[in-house]
Amino acid sequence: MRKLELEQFLGQQCVDICLLSETFLNPVQAFRLANYICHRTDRPTTGGGTAILIRRRIVQHSVPIPGLTHLEATAIQVTLAGRTVLILAAYLSLSRPLIGAELTACFGGELHVLMAGDLNTKHVDWNSRLNTRRGNSYVNMPTGTPV
């Protein structure tokens, strides 16, 4: 999707928060949209990357997620309906293993968490037409266990 198309879509649909995975942005590339703040995590090499676009009027701040080596994620903290929520945009390449400890880093805190993105996992529990090995492992994953 091109920047102009994204801008039009966000405006037409009145989107307040947009989570993006596989942005393919590089660290020197500027990315700005009118009325939005862009929080992003770029991969130093080609591909990947995550971002969160949030309307400027919404009080938010960026939150670091330490200890991620395979999972790419961008996180912000906002207050929704009186509750503080951690919102994460995530991406995990098929070539990288899904590590339970990295998910614990994302979900292990005191806050409610909303995570969206592409972990390259498939399972019928998530309305996929099939189960993959990675999807089966994720469904049964105790935290801290590599897949």
How far CA 118 is from CA of 32, 98, 110, in Å, comes to 23, 12, 24
Residue 71: pLDDT band (50, 70, 90) is very high
Residue 42 lies in a domain: yes
Residue 33 CA, chain-centre distance (Å), reads 19
What pLDDT is stored for residue 142 in this prediction?
59
Confidence of residue 134 (pLDDT cuts 50, 70, 90): confident
Residue 104 belongs to domain with CATH number: 3.60.10.10
Query: Is 144 within the bounds of a domain?
Result: no
Instruction: Give the predicted TM-score (pTM) of the model.
Output: 0.87
Higher pLDDT, 137 or 128: 128
% pLDDT > 90, the chain:
56
Q: Is residue 146 part of a domain?
A: no
Give the residue from 65, 76, 78, 136 showing the smallest Cα distance to 107.
65
- Sorted by sequence, the CB contacts under 8 Å of residue 32 that are 6+ apart come out as 38
| Per-residue confidence band for 18, with pLDDT thresholds at 50, 70 and 90 | very high
103: pLDDT strictly greater than 50:
yes
Domain extent at residue 35: 3-139
Is residue 34 situated within a structural domain?
Answer: yes
**Total tally of structural domains belonging to the chain:** 1
